[in-house]
A and B are shown apart, each in its own frame.
Chain A
Amino acid sequence: MPDQSLRNRAAVIGVGTTKFGRLPGNDTYDLGAWALREALDDCGLKASDIDGVIVNRIPDYQRFCEAFGLNPRYALMTPGQGRMSGATIELAAMAIAAGMAKTIALVYGNDGRSAGDKYGGETDRYGSGGAGQFFPYGMTSPGAVHAMMFACHMHQFGTTSAQLAAVSVAFRKHAALNPNAVMRKRVTVEDHQESTFVAAPLHILDYCLINDGGVALILTSAERARDAKKPPVYIRGFSQATKLEESALPPEDYWYGPMQAAAKDVYEMAGVKHEDLDALMIYDNFSPTVLFSLEGFGFCKQGEGGDWMQGGRLELGGQFPTNTSGGHLSESYMQGWALNAEAVRQLRGECGERQVKDARLIQYMCAAPLMTSIIYGSDAT
């Protein structure tokens, strides 16, 4: 577990998002810069106030900083995998606590839709990049890996695709209330069941939406955050775990073991229990990941997630409103970044029709070969 003294040491003071969708003519640098301008506006800072920059999915930190006119003391880039959004935010919180920088901008740009990203076929580099050995058999894509994991869950626990539909239905309901979401037309369980298969047992409505967009977050120390334009959102706890050995193949336990370890650490560091949480932001590259995360982080017993998600439990007004923006399934696949932005906006009470009333504590979690979780709070208790 990270040192308990890091609880509430860093806070998010600025968030910026671009439009999401097809944004031709914008590369990842343009999209990142657009988001960063929004984030600076949001917190009332100037580019010269930024002394740390970490870019993600943008291929070159130097070119980005050159274009934006930044000379940060601390600069870094992280690999363009969705699991890295949480890891990058955690790193920034640590860098601030360590005094490496006072105010860090995290900048993400994704031109996946305009660039024609498919996440399958000859260019598939999912996981360890060993996928090429599987191509002769037609095996490719992270979606197919998650389809296999879900087939195991169906077999082992009796979970059904119709139960899984609760995830897509809930997130689309939320997206319908989010003007910036790409897909806003409500769907039903029947729509989910009748939607085409991509890699069965997963339907197209179990898949995230590849789009263009950018997200930026500005973090600073809790002390400095008190002078910011808007109320700070504190990083109250965070954790990480991995299952990288044999990760060219699906994990045998849906990452349950390492998620349990990450859960113990994050709840202990934050001093928070499940029932204290007002909303959840769960990395939803594919809807089974939400099911696995809910079980792994202990919201229900392993194997019971299919049942547990029914009855609107993940919907606004339910016990744990989840991905209130619509998430990757319905807002846009911004690889975890927009979910973290949504957590901040919810805790500030800026979410309009989709606002969770009096939200004070929100947990982000990402299940993947490298898993992370962050608990955000609206006060520094």
Chain B
Amino acid sequence: MSNYLKPLPKIDERNRAHWDGAREGRLMMQACDHCAALRYPFSSLCPKCQSTGSSWKEVSGKGQVWSWCVFHRVYFKGFEGEMPYNVVLVKLDEGPRIYSNIIGVDKDKLRIGMRVRAVFDQATDDVTLVKFEEDKS
């Protein structure tokens, strides 16, 4: 899949569990070992209790659209072929907000509060992205 031109995540020891999980179809979020708070973006320190230890916890992948925007300007060449494209900030039912894309919803139909669930979109042999689709259940 060397023809994948969009930016890829920089996978390292600090975030590998998230990307390994995505390849297996599981949404893994970072949880503080001390106070259990989930955090995003991934980081080495818990902003709630300043502890350093963390583990990876599978979450439901369900949540709602917290906000949205639609890009009409090309900032990354790899996206050129699918302009305009949406970016959403999803508030997971477990609490954290994460950036992603909604699949299968017209840009004029994006709305805040829309129930969504995670889907796993293989980008390359090594990388699967966590995207979302409308959850009609």
Q: Could you tell me which A residues sit within 8 Å of B by CB distance? A: 118, 120-122, 124, 130, 132-141, 144, 147-149, 151-152, 155, 196-202, 245-246, 248-250
Using Cβ atoms and an 8 Å threshold, which residues of chain B touch A199? 69-73
Q: Chain B residues in contact with chain A, CB under 8 A?
A: 6-10, 15, 41-43, 47, 66-73, 75-76, 79, 84-85, 87, 89, 97, 99-101, 107, 111-113, 123, 127, 129, 131
Distance to closest chain B CB from A268 (angstroms): 31
CA distance A134 to B97 in the complex (A): 12
Bound Cα distance A202, B73 (Å):
11
In the complex, are the beta carbons of A138 and B6 less than 8 A apart? yes
A133 near B42: Cβ-Cβ < 8 Å: yes
CB pair A152–B112 under 8 Å, yes or no, is yes
Known: A122-B76, A137-B99, A152-B112. A200 touches B87 (CB 8 A): no
Q: How far is the CA of A151 from the CA of B110 in the complex (A)?
A: 10
Q: Are A136 and B75 in contact (CB under 8 A)?
A: no
User: How many residue pairs between the two chains, A and B, have CB atoms under 8 Å in the bound complex?
Assistant: 94
Report A-chain residues with C-beta under 8 Å of the C-beta of B70: 197, 199-200
Q: With contacts A144-B71, A198-B73 known, is A139 near B87, CB below 8 A?
A: yes
* Closest Cβ–Cβ distance, residue A287 to chain B (whole Å): 15
Closest B residue by C-beta to A203:
B72
- Expressed in whole angstroms, the minimum distance between the Cβ of A134 and any Cβ of chain B is 5
Question: For B9, B41, B47, which residue has the most chain A Cβ atoms within 10 angstroms?
Answer: B41
User: Assuming the A-B contacts A144-B87, A151-B68, are A136 and B47 also in contact, with contact meaning beta carbons closer than 8 angstroms in the complex?
Assistant: no
Query: Looking at the complex, which one of A136, A151, A196 makes contact with B9 (CB distance below 8 Å)?
Result: A136
A202–B69 Cα distance when bound, in Å, is 9
A198 contacts across to B, CB distance below 8 A = 72-73
Residue of A nearest to B72 (CB): A197
Residues of B with C-beta under 8 A to A121: 75-76
| Sample of 7 more A-B contacts, CB < 8 Å, known A140-B76, A148-B67 | A132-B10, A133-B99, A136-B123, A136-B129, A137-B131, A139-B99, A200-B84
